[in-house]
Amino acid sequence: MNKPLAERMRPQTLDDYIGQKHLVGQGSVLRKMIDAGHVPSFILWGPPGVGKTTLAKIISKQLDIPFYTLSAINSGVKDVREIIDKVHSTKFFNATRPVLFIDEIHRFSKSQQDSLLAAVENGTITLIGATTENPSFEVIRPLLSRCQVYVLKSLSDKDLLDLAHKALSEDVELKKRDIQLTETTALLRFAGGDARKLLNIIELVVEADDSDPVLITDEKVTDRLQENPAGYDKDGEMHYDIISAFIKSIRGSDPDGAIYWLARMVAGGEDPKFIARRLVISASEDIGLANPNALLLANACFEAIHKVGFPEGRIILAETTVYLATSAKSNSAYLAIDKALEEVAQSGDLPVPLHLRNAPTKLMKDLNYGKDYKYAHDYENNFVQQEFLPKQLKDKQFWISQNNPQELKIQEHLNRLWKK
C-alpha cells in the first residue's frame, strides 16, 4: 500500500525543506548551528503542518546521530527513562549525543517533563520538542530555561504553491496522471498555511477524479471536502473557525452563541487551557476598561482550569464565557497600545525628558537627571501637572475613552485633574 502523499513528499534535506527561511535559510541562526555540527536542545513552536517533525528528522540525519522519538500523547515517564537508560548503555559506542524528539511536548505533565531535566542538563541527550501551544504556558520553567525556542510560521501562499507544483512534478504516483492546477484560491484557503493539509487535499481530489486530465479547480476542491467532512479537528481549519466564532460571539454580547461554540469545543475534545487562554485575551482586548473585573475573572478561570481539568472545568469555562459575553465592551486599551506602537515605529527612540530620568549617581544628578521632577504625592489630590511625553510628542493622545459608564467615569476624573 502506498504511503500518503504528505509522507512521500516529506523532505530529506534542508535544501528540499520549504518555508521557515528565517530559521533554516542560508546564514540563519539554526542553519549555522546545523552546518557547524553542534545543535543545543530547543523547542519548535508553531501551528500544525509547518514542518516541525520534519525539521527534527532532517537535523538528526544531517548530523548523522541517533534519533529517538516519542509522542507525548501516548508516552509517559517510563518511556522517557527507558530511552535515557538506553543512551547510557550505548554511550561508550557512540561519541555523539543522540537526539530525543518529543512531539506535542505541551501534553507532557510536570512529572513527565521533570524526568527529562537531568538528561538535558548533563548533556546525555539533545532534546528537540515540538508544540503547537505557547511553551511559556506549557513547558515547565526549569526545562524551558535549558532550551532555545524557535518559532515556525504558517506557510505562505507562495510556499504552498511551490510545494503543490513540486508534488505534481516529482511525486511518483502523481506523475502517472495528467494533473493541472487551474485554480488555487480554495486550495490555499482550506490548507490554511498547513503543508500536510494541502497535500492531503490534492490527494483527495486526484483520487476521486477519473477524468483525463485531472483539473484541480476551486469548485472541485470545495465539493470534495464537503463530501468528506472531518468533523471537529483540533489541529485543522475547523479548530480556528470555531474559536473565531466563539470569540466573536463574546465580542458581540451573545451569551447563547458563545456557550454553543464553547460546547462544540468541549465536545470535540479541545484543550481547556487553550480555551481559557483565549478568554483571557478576550477580556483584555474586547472588554478592557469597560469592566476591569473581566480580566481578573478570566485569569482566575485560567488558573482554576490548571487545577481542576475536565469534566468539572467545563463549568468554570461556561461561567467565564457568560460573564464576558454579557459584560460591557471596550477596546480602548487595545487601540491605545497599537497607536503608541505606530508612533514608536514612526518617531523612533525619542529621548526621555531629563526630569523623568533616573539619577542613581552624582554624575547623573550633575547632568540634571531628575531635576525639576515633581513627586505627585506631595501635592493636593496626589497630582500635579507636568509633561510625561518626549517634547516632540507634547499633547499627543493615545488612549481615548469610549462611551461606557466605567470609562466615562475615568475620563471625568482625568478632566478634573488636567483641567480639560
Per-residue pLDDT 10s for the chain (420 aa) are: 578 888 889 988 888 888 888 888 888 888 888 888 888 899 999 888 888 989 988 888 888 888 888 887 777 788 888 888 888 877 655 557 888 999 888 878 788 888 888 888 888 888 999 988 888 877 888 888 888 899 998 889 999 999 999 999 998 888 888 888 898 888 888 888 888 888 988 988 888 888 888 889 888 888 887 665 443 344 444 566 788 889 998 998 888 889 988 988 887 777 888 899 999 999 999 998 888 999 999 999 998 887 777 778 889 999 999 999 998 898 888 888 888 888 888 887 788 777 777 776 777 677 777 777 888 887 788 888 888 788 888 888 888 888 888 888 888 888 888 886
Convert the pLDDT of each residue in 254-309 to its tens digit.
888 899 889 888 877 778 888 999 999 999 999 988 889 999 999 999 988 877 77
Q: What is the CA radius of gyration of the chain?
A: 27
Select from 309, 320, 225, 242 the least CA-distant residue to 281: 320
Q: How far apart are CA 5 and CA 179, in angstroms?
A: 14
Tell me how far the alpha carbon of residue 88 is from its chain's centroid.
Answer: 35
Cis, bond preceding 311 (omega within 30 deg of 0): yes
The residue behind cell 504516483 is: 173
Select from 159, 162, 410, 130 the least CA-distant residue to 289: 410
DSSP letter (8 states) at residue 286: I
Q: How far apart are CA 261 and CA 267, in angstroms?
A: 10
Neighbouring-strand partners of residue 216 = 181
Domains in the chain: ranges and CATH: 20-151 (3.40.50.300), 157-227 (1.10.8.60), 237-326 (1.20.272.10), 352-418 (1.10.3710)
